[in-house]
Structure 1
Amino acid sequence: MTTELNRTRWAIAAVLIGRLIFALVFIMAVSFKFMDIDGTAGYIAAAGFPLSKLLAWLAALFELALIASFLTGAYFSEAALLAAVYVLFLGFAFHGPAHWAGNQAEFGFFVDHFTFLAGLLFAAAHGPGRVLVLRRGFLPR
């Protein structure tokens, strides 16, 4: 009984910490955008995307929605899947193979996106846990 209870507590803590880490990553990202939206727009424009200021604001709003979902658990699996697509897009658009010749560190940034992608996919499949969660979503549980 005690072993099962400890395992349950550990799992609950791990899920909550994981959700917090996801939220913190996007909190940092959106903070940088809000601190220098023009810099973010410049980075987006340098990657060849049009309407860079609009895209910077849309990215910030999207990241705010992800943060809300990761912290509350509402629409968690859906948000994790959308975040996975977003992270995959960012990896290729800003750190993909075209960037490796100019700076080999870009390859490391590219690979890091896949690590984050794996975590997001795992989270999407397993959901937000049973504690501190709003039970909302479209995907079957």
Structure 2
Amino acid sequence: MPSEIVQSPWQTVAILIGRLIFAAVFVMAVTFKFIDMGATAGYIAAAGFPFPLFLAWCAALLEVVLVLCFLTGAFFSQAALVAAAYVLFLAFAFHGPSHWAGNQAEFGFFVDHFTFLAGLLFAAVHGPGRVLTWKPVSAS
């Protein structure tokens, strides 16, 4: 029988707040997409990607799934890894070195993605915590 790891109340609260922050970031992102999917598609097209409306919808659906995983804890570590890859892609595709000469603020946006990436990787390793976490029913 595996030993139970005891979490202090502050650790439980910190994990839950972290999960809420992850979810909130993606809720905001998907909300802007649903408000104006055409603008999102235009932004994707401006970055040089084909099929921008299709990719905008794919991004929105991915973000909805990530929100559900972060809020419920279901497939949390896997979702955090997918989100990490997504955030890394977004950093380079939309704020990477080719954007810095035209707008130095883009470098800041680029770096911000890496702080978020670090949190997602940490979360992927440590999981969703023990509270408010969906756990699949085992067949034992």
Scaled by the length of structure 2, the TM-score of the pair is 0.92
Structure 1: unaligned runs, 5 residues or longer: 137-141
**CA–CA distance in 1 between the matches of 2:132 and 2:109?**
32
Q: Trace 1:103-122 onto structure 2 (pairs within 5 A).
A: 103-122=103-122
**CA–CA distance in 2 between the matches of 1:95 and 1:61?**
22
User: 1:51 maps to which residue?
Assistant: 51
The letter for the 2-side match of 1:53 is L
Q: Which runs of 4+ in 1 moved over 6 A?
A: none
**CA–CA distance in 2 between the matches of 1:103 and 1:12?**
40
User: 1:79 maps to which residue?
Assistant: 79
Superposition deviation, residue 16 in structure 1: 0.2
SS in 2 for 1:124: helix
User: 1:42 maps to which residue?
Assistant: 42
Aligned pairs, number:
131
Does residue 28 of structure 2 align to residue 28 of structure 1? yes
For residues 78-131 of structure 1, give each alpha carbon's deviation from its aligned partner in whole angstroms, at most 9, with x where no partner exists: 000000000000000000000000000000000000000000000000000000
**CA–CA distance in 1 between the matches of 2:94 and 2:135?**
35
The letter for the 1-side match of 2:123 is A
**CA–CA distance in 2 between the matches of 1:135 and 1:30?**
26
The letter for the 2-side match of 1:109 is F
Identity %: 72
Superposition deviation, residue 48 in structure 1: 0.1
Structure 2: unaligned runs, 5 residues or longer: 1-5
**CA–CA distance in 2 between the matches of 1:135 and 1:78?**
14
**CA–CA distance in 1 between the matches of 2:82 and 2:12?**
24
SS in 2 for 1:55: helix
Superposition deviation, residue 35 in structure 1: 0.3
SS in 2 for 1:134: coil
